[in-house]
Structure 1
Amino acid sequence: MFPGPVRSRHPLLRVLPPLALLLCVPLAGCGPGTAPGPGSVSGSASAPAGSAAERAVRRAVAAWSAAPPQRLAAIPLEGWSYEVSSVRVDGVRAFARAELHYRLTGYDAAPAGSAREVELTRGSGPDGSGGPAGSATPGGPGGSWTVVADRPAPGTPPQLWDQGRVGVARGAHALVLGGDGQSPEALAAIAAEADEAVPAASAAWPRPWAGRVVVLVPGSLEAMAALLGRPVEEYRGLGAVTTGSTGAGPAPADRVVVNPEGYGQLSAEGRQVILTHETTHVATRAATTAKTPLWLSEGFADWAAYRGSGRSAAEAAPATGRAVRRGDLPAELPGNAAFAFGGDGEALARAYEGSWLACRLIARKWGDAALVSLYEKAGREPLPTALEEALGTDLPALTRAWQEELRGEFR
């Protein structure tokens, strides 16, 4: 199922075996989606609002979509409904644009949505040998219509179930949905890893949150890219993507989308770091806004992921160490532009490493509670105000302390 706007993603940089360094880079949003399905009709006549044909098509869609398809019975779905926005008729075929609404039971605080195109034919229905067809309206004004296809609306990424069979694994704190080809054993292993990530995120973020996570595991890298509506090359070598909306208020649960190829390259420790980092983004969603600096949101997620790991700065921040030793001490904390994907990989690594080291410094110098307080305040107030209220300092002083920390770690 397509989870919504992409918020962040994790490239993998191979540094010290057996653990790969995991980075999380925000995307501006989803790009061009999937191409129209083969049955899509552009420019066909719209049925007049309130016409007999439109009413008949709407009745057929309503009857057909009264409950999730039986093939999705293993997925905990509720609130399943199709809201038709327009109907187009082309002879014996009709195309209804609709918004699918549903919730993952126990996970979504608000309905998730997906734009769909439902295709229908007039007259007798198919022979029932397969496909999503069914629910013909009775004859009479407007004719008898039968649903013969349901697909993403043109320009809209698919749902996970559009790609084939969906497997389900449940943990104490996690729901894992796997794409076609993912084995039950693989999904169960990720559920167990997510079950460890949730308490770790809660320990770092002692504020109320759902305390559970949804993980999608597409069947392939290509399937992952299709779900997110982006080119395959953007995800090659990545470990995972976090999706969702920031800010308070009811919303569908964030989805952590795993790249089965990149994730499979990680050690057990690396997988735990990546899921804890991503789960921390889920935990802090309500406190994260456009005001939150990326060095703080990404640094905090890495701080949560590395807590208690015993990883030294030299082990976890090798790119920063190389830069400092050659005299390239950063003049300021990483700006938001430093996290843009597609640029210099070494510079990107330094942005993440420097952010982690800044959050680690704050926790050491001012305390874990002060770091959490800073995160909360930085989502509501200008950063100078948040720093003064949470730490009793300003940005120049914090920057100097961070630079001194870098000198001390990488002499």
Structure 2
Amino acid sequence: MAEGRRARGSGVPGRCPLLVPRLAPRLGLRFHARLVPLVVLLLVGLVGCGGRTGTDSARADVQRVLDRRAAALLGHDASAYAATGAAAGYAAVRAVPLAGWAYRVTALQRSGDSATADAELSYRVDGYDKAPVTVGRTLRLARDGAGRWSVTSEKPAAKAGEQLWDQGVVRVVRGAHSLVLGVGQSDARLRSFAELADGAVPAVSAAWGTDWAGHVVVLVPKSLEGMAGLLGSPASAYRGIAAVTTGETGGGAKTPADRVVVNPDAYDLLGQVGRQVVLTHETTHVATRAHTNAATPLWLSEGFADWVGYRETGRTPAEAAPELQQAVRDGNMPEALPADGDFGFYGDANRLAQAYEGGWLACRMIAERWGEVKLDAFYRAVGEHRARAGAVEGALRSVLGTSSEQFTADWRAYLKAQLG
């Protein structure tokens, strides 16, 4: 059925005389010229000639409500926000410095005066996000007697991670090079993370260079469960993991800013040096993200981040790689550099520790033997490839003048010398 078709030459939009004789038999009506007015009246609610269906109209109305809601949030207008529906979310996100906040309705399901909207929420943190962060959201709405829609609830879409404000009222602390957002944390505790991040940023720039944003956003949820909620994964995946970095790799300058997500439960078990190493490690991922892609093996990306983290600490291999040292001394020298599968959070904890330690010592060996400038160049050269095949081998030849076989043999000898 072609909605909105007009009679040829009529020049009158919104009329559908050509549809009437076609639809009348489908409705069990016998078409007759005298019945045209009656048939048109019967069909006007079914066809909506030249107009929108009821669902389309409701979707447009809901979009307008969400547009007003977003404008009220950006304008810090609590009354205008409350006029669009449930007001609890306003207080939760109010302190976050936002440069953008917008919804786009992608689907609407109606049931009488109730509706469920699927939407994309795009937002930018002022001064930190060069491009919007886009997440899926599900909103429930109700319509009052006057036909006005209002939001009754909002939550992450199915399979989407939570946002920090979904977990409670967000508190904000600014550092010299950092923005720390937390839920269920005191300002003093958030300031301690800002101090760590402020120490991490110049340390990363000293090792990697200044061709990155030079600042970092740190999210501090209330607990391990809160961390898992932000990442959309079970808590068991991150137990014992102090922090992770989210963000797209290899996306260039327009990729949304990464977030360093902290596990406060694990952080409490670390000493001051360990806490600094972790924040510096994660900040390194933020800095190197544009040069990291599918061609970059985890031993290199994680090993380089650890190398930057430990670079100014004075920690020796024996102090920083106890699990791998034990394996070497027990005669279990690894035959090859750690595979990506060795870095899985669900696997053996010893295997995971040895993978990180092995990657770190590979990068440490490059820095000692070829120099820190060559280590940076090697990392970037691997990232210039888009496919894994040949990326590391090519960078080893072009930057370090060696082969994969020789590099692996040198690494194994280095492990023996440092840990044996």
TM over 0.5: yes
Matches within 5 A, 1:34-49: 48=53
Q: Is 1:73 matched up with 2:76?
A: no
Q: Name which of 246, 252, 255 aligns with 2:249.
A: 246
Q: Quote the Cα distance in structure 1 between the aligned partners of 2:225 and 2:369.
A: 45
Is the Cα contact below 8 Å between 1:359 and 1:371 reproduced in 2?
yes
Deviation for aligned residue 1:191: 0.4
Note the alpha carbon deviations across 1:198-226, whole angstroms, 9 max, x for none: 11111111150000000000012221111
Q: Is 1:298 matched up with 2:281?
A: no
Q: Name which of 142, 145, 154 aligns with 1:121.
A: 142
Tell me, which stretches of 5 or more residues in structure 1 are unaligned?
1-46, 125-138
More strand by percentage:
1
Is the Cα contact below 8 Å between 1:67 and 1:81 reproduced in 2?
no
Letter in 2 for 1:323: A
Q: Name which of 216, 221, 240 aligns with 2:219.
A: 216
Letter in 2 for 1:291: A
User: Which residue of structure 1 aligns with residue 18 of structure 2?
Assistant: none
More helix by percentage:
2
User: Which residue of structure 1 aligns with residue 376 of structure 2?
Assistant: 372
Matches within 5 A, 1:155-166: 155-166=159-170
Deviation for aligned residue 1:272: 0.1
Task: Give 4+ residue runs of structure 1 displaced > 3 Å after superposition.
Answer: 47-52
- 1:190 is paired with a residue of what secondary structure? helix
User: Which residue of structure 1 aligns with residue 317 of structure 2?
Assistant: 313
Matches within 5 A, 1:99-114: 99-114=120-135
Identity of aligned residues (%): 52
User: Which residue of structure 1 aligns with residue 198 of structure 2?
Assistant: 195
Matches within 5 A, 1:84-103: 84-103=105-124
Matches within 5 A, 1:22-37: none
Is the Cα contact below 8 Å between 1:320 and 1:354 reproduced in 2?
yes
Deviation for aligned residue 1:261: 0.6
Q: Name which of 56, 63, 84 aligns with 2:61.
A: 56
Q: Name which of 351, 369, 384 aligns with 2:393.
A: 384
Bigger drift between 55-64 and 317-326 goes to 55-64
Q: Quote the Cα distance in structure 2 between the aligned partners of 1:251 and 1:316.
A: 33
- TM superposition score normalised by structure 1: 0.81
Q: Quote the Cα distance in structure 2 between the aligned partners of 1:384 and 1:205.
A: 22
Is the Cα contact below 8 Å between 2:63 and 2:104 reproduced in 1?
no
Is the Cα contact below 8 Å between 1:67 and 1:80 reproduced in 2?
no
**Paired residues, what number?**
347
User: Which residue of structure 2 aligns with residue 134 of structure 1?
Assistant: none
Matches within 5 A, 1:258-273: 258-273=262-277
Structure having the higher Rg: 2
Q: Quote the Cα distance in structure 1 between the aligned partners of 2:251 and 2:135.
A: 22
Deviation for aligned residue 1:154: 2.9
Aligned Cα RMSD in Å? 1.6
Bigger drift between 148-157 and 293-302 goes to 148-157
Alpha-carbon distance change, 209 to 65 in structure 1, aligned in 2, over 3 angstroms: same
Deviation for aligned residue 1:357: 0.8
Q: Is 1:168 matched up with 2:172?
A: yes
User: Which residue of structure 1 aligns with residue 77 of structure 2?
Assistant: none
Note the alpha carbon deviations across 1:346-396, whole angstroms, 9 max, x for none: 222111111111111100000000000000001123211111111111111
Alpha-carbon distance change, 269 to 122 in structure 1, aligned in 2, over 3 angstroms: same
Q: Is 1:233 matched up with 2:236?
A: yes
Q: Is 1:346 matched up with 2:341?
A: no
Is the Cα contact below 8 Å between 1:218 and 1:259 reproduced in 2?
yes
Q: Quote the Cα distance in structure 2 between the aligned partners of 1:153 and 1:228.
A: 13
Q: Is 1:395 matched up with 2:404?
A: yes
User: Which residue of structure 1 aligns with residue 36 of structure 2?
Assistant: none
Letter in 1 for 2:404: L
User: Which residue of structure 1 aligns with residue 413 of structure 2?
Assistant: 404
Q: Name which of 333, 339, 345 aligns with 2:337.
A: 333
Deviation for aligned residue 1:100: 0.7
Tell me, which stretches of 5 or more residues in structure 2 are unaligned?
1-51, 74-80, 82-89, 386-390
Q: Quote the Cα distance in structure 2 between the aligned partners of 1:348 and 1:222.
A: 21
Letter in 2 for 1:105: D
Alpha-carbon distance change, 294 to 51 in structure 1, aligned in 2, over 3 angstroms: closer
Q: Quote the Cα distance in structure 2 between the aligned partners of 1:207 and 1:195.
A: 15
